[in-house]
Amino acid sequence: MDSFMSRAVELAIENVRNGGQPFGAVLVKDGDIVSEGVNELHKKHDVSGHAEMLAIRRAQEKFQTNDLSGYTMYASGEPCPMCFAAMYFAGIKEVYYCAAVEEAAAAGLTTSGMIYGDLKKPKAERTLSMIHMPLDEGQENPMKLWKERP
């Protein structure tokens, strides 16, 4: 196994032994680990405290950038849709993972698979109700403001 993936799995094992979930992540640039993370939901009561999210946050803070293009993520488990989206927004183009969503589901961790399935459905059929509320007439439009900025 690749040394970066071995480290991600080692972090996941350590996290389980410390009362957390079996997820660890390592963010790499130019052959060096720049940040790591483990799921910290059990410590911080923050549903966004996933291993990949924390590795991304730490790297962005460390380097004062939102652009992580050229970085590679190694994750002990297949990233959930939230982590996938964060990596996408950060410009990460390559992710290696060990345990697939199906393996996580078999271990009793079913949320990712359910969300991936829900995203395939038309908006009206999704579990999370999404209701469009247009701006009131004459109300300032933040999207228009953004588009017109200097």
Q: Annotated catalytic sites, by residue?
A: 52
- Bridge partners for 29 per DSSP: 32, 71
What's the burial of 54, exposed, middle or buried (CB within 10 Å: 0-12/13-18/19+)? buried
| Residues 19, 4: Cα–Cα separation, whole Å | 23
